[in-house]
Amino acid sequence: MENFTFWTPTKYVFGRGVEMQAGQLTASMLARKVLIVYGGHSAEASGLLGRVRESLTEADVEWRELGGIRPNPTDDKVREGIEMMRADGLEALLAVGGGSVIDTAKAIAAGVPYEGDFWDFFEGKAEIGDTLPLGVILTIPAAGSEGSGNSVITKIDGKVKISIRTEVALRPKFALMNPELTFTLPPYQTACGIADMMAHIFERYFSDTPCVEITDRVAEGVLMAIIEEAPKVMANPTDYDARANIMWSGTLAHNGVCGTGRKEDWASHAMEHEISAVYDVAHGAGLSVVFPAWMTFMAKNHPEKGAQLARRIWGVTEADDHKAAIEGVMKLKQFFKDLGLPVTMDELGVKEPDIDLLVERLHRNKGAVIGGYYPLTSTETRLIYQLTL
């Protein structure tokens, strides 16, 4: 096991009705003048935003609002938020939504105190220093941004989608997580979220670091819980306990606990980010296409971890590693299909993907070699993209 630091300063408040603590927690942990950031219509339509405003009013917190954050969020909204906060002297942010909303709020939080352009952080031209405090009310278990130190933004000019990762700077101060808020999720979004949280575990599980049995077992435990609970939320979207289990799984999948003490991979996320940047598909759906293809490649070239996963998660009994890993991929694909997710580019709605373009962009944006478990150059990433057809 490698040395590691595990630092999750976020206060998670979980359960029915917890969004009504927004005002009190904002006043005590963030500030008295905040920017509420939210997405399209879901938070207003469900009445959630109304309850949040009520809670802030009761706690004597002033606010402005920045709505209209779209999935695969873009740099223009970050700039709009930075300008609003500076103009109105706002001191903190409250994100009400999923990964897209939270990531926008995080980028604003880093951008306001910075004199240059916030995109410098995403291009690696500057290190994030001071950030404004951020609280979250989560409405979709998926990206895990409520517990991560990451933000993923797409620059409209050139459709460049970049993820930045900080140890602590971008982690929310608190996350309010009421599983009932996810009852209104459309089945496709629920399924995309499930694929994304599983992918966050796979990215950490596929590792050559030896002697990480505890981390492997934590990861397998969360995966097995997701596999058990996912069909329940799909069958009954208002099953509170199934929604609660899925919601907490999404946080544990990505707050770092499944990656402690080892090298991680992240090639599949880099490959997917190019797909969602170019074709504007849901990130989780892109992953349900890319991950089986990546795992198929690994079954041939580096099958050990895939075989372990297949045996421990999917109950595969095959002794040969290559065959066991392939059986595991088949089980994963079937699982995704049963959730209504795509497993090919065509099913994703990308009829004629431009693989040359994806490969060229991938290595221009993410480096000549990607992946911690098995280094991939453009030769291998092209093969993996071809396996998605």
Give 19 or 103: the residue with its C-beta nearer to ligand NZQ.
103
When the beta carbons of 75 and 103 are compared against ligand NZQ, the nearer one is 103
Shortest distance (Å) from residue 225 CB to ligand NZQ: 19
Considering only 196, 264, 274, 327, the residue that binds Zn ion (CB under 5 A) is: 196
Residue closer to ligand NZQ by CB (options 287, 310) is 287
The SS3 assignment for 102 reads helix
Nearest CA to 383 out of 320, 301, 324 is that of: 301
Residue 148 partner contact from Zn ion, ligand NZQ, none using kind-dependent CB cut-offs of 5 to 8 Å: ligand NZQ
> What's the first-to-final CA gap in the chain, in angstroms?
37
Using the minimum distance from each CB to ligand NZQ, give the nearer residue, 41 or 300. 41
Cβ atoms 136, 170 nearer than 8 A: no
- Tell me which H or E stretch contains 194: helix 187-205
| Nearest alpha-carbon partner for 327 in 308, 346, 345, 342 | 308
Nearer to ligand NZQ, 58 or 241 (CB): 241
Tell me how far, at minimum, the Cβ of 18 lies from Zn ion, in Å: 24
Among Zn ion, ligand NZQ, none, what binds residue 222 when CB lies within 5 to 8 Å by partner kind? none
Cβ-proximal residues to 359 (8 Å cutoff; 6+ apart), any chain:
378, 381, 382, 385
Beta carbon of residue 144, minimum distance to ligand NZQ (angstroms, whole number): 5
Report what 152 binds from ligand NZQ, Zn ion, none; CB cut-off 5-8 Å by kind.
ligand NZQ
Closest residue to Zn ion using C-beta atoms: 196
Residue 99: contacted member of ligand NZQ, Zn ion, none (CB under 5 to 8 Å, by partner type): ligand NZQ
Per-residue burial over 227-244, b = 16 or more CB atoms within 10 Å of its CB, e = otherwise? bebbeebbeebebeebbb
Q: Which is nearer to ligand NZQ, 160 or 310 (CB)?
A: 160
- Answer with the entry of Zn ion, ligand NZQ, none that 260 interacts with (C-beta below 5 to 8 A by kind): none
Q: Is the dihedral of CA 331, 312, 339, 41 positive or negative?
A: negative
Select from 298, 343, 287, 301 the least CA-distant residue to 309: 298
Pick the closer one to ligand NZQ by CB: 128 or 310. Answer: 128
- DSSP-derived pairing of the beta strands 150-155 and 160-165: antiparallel
Vertex 74: Cα angle to 69 and 76 (nearest 5):
90
Q: Is 103 in the site for Zn ion (CB under 5 A)?
A: no
Quick check: 274 binds Zn ion (CB under 5 A)?
A: no
The type of residue at 68 is G
Interface positions with ligand NZQ (CB under 6 A): 39-43, 71-73, 97-101, 103, 139-140, 142-145, 148, 150-152, 163, 181-182, 184-185, 189, 193, 196, 254, 269, 283-284
Interacting residues toward Zn ion by CB under 5 A: 196
